[in-house]
Amino acid sequence: MLSSSLRWKRKSKFSAKQIGIIAALLIVSLLPIAFKKSGHIKKNESHRTLTIITSHNETIRREFERAFAVWWRDAHRGELIHINWVTPGGGAEVRKVMDTKFEAFQKNKGEDGVENVGLDVFFGGGAYEFDQAKRNGYLVKIEAFETLRGIFIPDASGDASIPQKAFGETFYDKDHQWVGVCLSSFGICYNKDVLKRLGFKEDEHPTTWDDLADPRFYKNIALADPTKSGSVTKAFEMILQQKMQEHIAANKVPNPAESKEQHRDRILNEGWRNGMMLIQKITANARYFSDSATKIPHDVANGDAAVGMCIDFYGRTYNSKYMKEDGTSRIEFIIPKKGSSLTVDPVAVFKNAAEPELAQAFVEFCLRAQGQILWNGDPKLAGKFKFVPHNSALRRLPVSKDYYTPNFLMQFTDPEVMPYAREDILTYDSELTGPAFNALRVIIRVMAIDTHEELTEAWKAMIETGMPRDIMEHHFHSLSKVSYTKAVKDIGAKIHKMKMKRVLSARLRDLEKYAFNAERIKHHYPELEAEKYAATIEKLKKDVAALKSFDVMTLERQQQDLARQFRLSYEKAIKNAGKL
């Protein structure tokens, strides 16, 4: 009697080999269906892997992974792309990972298995972080400036689809090593229910940065730590920019005994002080300083804080998340009038990337309609329009002016937000606060984060005693140690030396390893003429020699001393308030 397996073999129309082929064909045919549903291709299912380091959230990563993989697959005969996302955290953490990767590559390149830096694309964050990466020699020129050159060329009216500068901000690097792909601004998110509980009336909802200094917000403001993120630092910089510009506009005429230089120095220091006093009050109202900027709108939405400073798309996202059927939401977001400029979130390609072709293609994708519409497309229209998100609205704004037209706006979640047409945007003046950007992080740290317990206790004492003018002026707002002049010429200068010492020392080690030959100089300084290589070598040696005497510990000791001085000032404010 035949066994059941033998009977099956005799009845089967297919051989084992044919069955294997059919199974393989089924797997291949089903892959696109599964891919279309999730947008994610696993590494073992893909043909190539692109590694992207980013501070963008999971929602943005998911939509861009799906859309780019589809765009690439359709253009390259079904080739499947896997994206390996490296997500260490905010800008500070991203910077540390980049530094570590490039230092390891410089040390070990040429050895077995060390052929690339381990990163292909830098995606998201502030322009400051990308400028730092460029300065460190981490980036290469972006090819999209040639393949899509039309969008960067001004028309007859002098207008380009993507301008090099707008509202005082840089939208792409002059050497084409990074380019902004979406716009950001900074503002205030607030919970209407919590405001009502705190005694605020409908017409008292915050509309300006000054409103966040209201004592009723005591321990009810959610803030992020600027030492962890360049974008968060930028938000605080907007407060300083507005206050300094206002003070300059109101004090255009020098005093009779002043020279023009003296007048400018005085006005800059006074405007800076106005901004720092406001930041000090806002931080005194802070409930905490989070390491994650995404925590701010989340906690405001949950009622754990009344208000928070956040990036626009975080505020808009939570506004829509809690939107009721009648169109109202308990979470609102506003951009203070003349209180924020428009900045960009850039993208760049790393030097010594494992997949340079894919990396350049990703940048091009971000600048084409497929990537630009994705930033503000409405997922509810996914069946009608090709390039909108499939899962979640990203609530960001495309950088290209080409997509603020009726045909494209009908696909957007925020069609009423026309960034290039707004008149309430602050025009950023880099000469005012740019030189103090690094110092601002340190100042907020020593003034408000390291000393937060003393700051809040002093602020409470000021509130309870009616804000006594003398104590506020001489103790609570004791800011002479962090004046504009000191921020730029002392604190900022030392931070710059520390950064340059690290960068130049790394270059020196690399060049010493290869005996300072011209090829190495050409690698690091491709823009130089050959006859200038020798001079560059000598200059680099002198620069590093000069910086070797700079002690990084000096800066740390200065920061500790500043924190100690602020503690003493706050303690004096509390003590003197107790005598009233």
pLDDT band of residue 43 (cuts 50, 70, 90) is low
Report whether 313 contacts 396 (CB < 8 A). yes
**pLDDT-above-90 percentage for the chain:** 67
pTM (2 decimals)? 0.83
- For 7-30, write each residue's pLDDT tens digit: 434 444 445 555 454 444 444 444
pLDDT above 80: residue 111: no
Vertex 369 angle, CA 365 and 370, to 5°: 55
CA distance readout (Å), 517 to 248, 510, 529, 546 = 51, 11, 14, 22
Q: Is 453 exposed, middle or buried (0-12, 13-18, 19+ CB in 10 A)?
A: exposed
- For 134-180, write each residue's pLDDT tens digit: 988 899 999 999 999 999 999 888 899 999 999 999 999 999 999 99
Query: Which phi and psi angles does 86 have, rounded to 5°?
Result: -105, 115
Ordered DSSP codes for 247-290: HHHH--SPPTT--HHHHHHHHHHHHHHHHHHHHHHHHHTEEEEE
Report whether 237 contacts 131 (CB < 8 A). no
pLDDT (mean) for 192-200: 95
- Secondary structure (3-state) at 576: helix
Could you tell me which residues come within 8 angstroms of residue 542 by beta carbon, excluding any fewer than 6 positions away? none
pLDDT above 70: residue 393: yes
Say what the pLDDT of residue 547 is: 67
Two tokens at 31?
């892959």
Higher pLDDT, 111 or 269: 269
Please tell me the total number of residues recorded for the chain in this structure: 580
- For 403-421, write each residue's pLDDT tens digit: 999 999 999 999 999 999 9
pLDDT band of residue 283 (cuts 50, 70, 90) is very high
Report whether 347 contacts 122 (CB < 8 A). yes
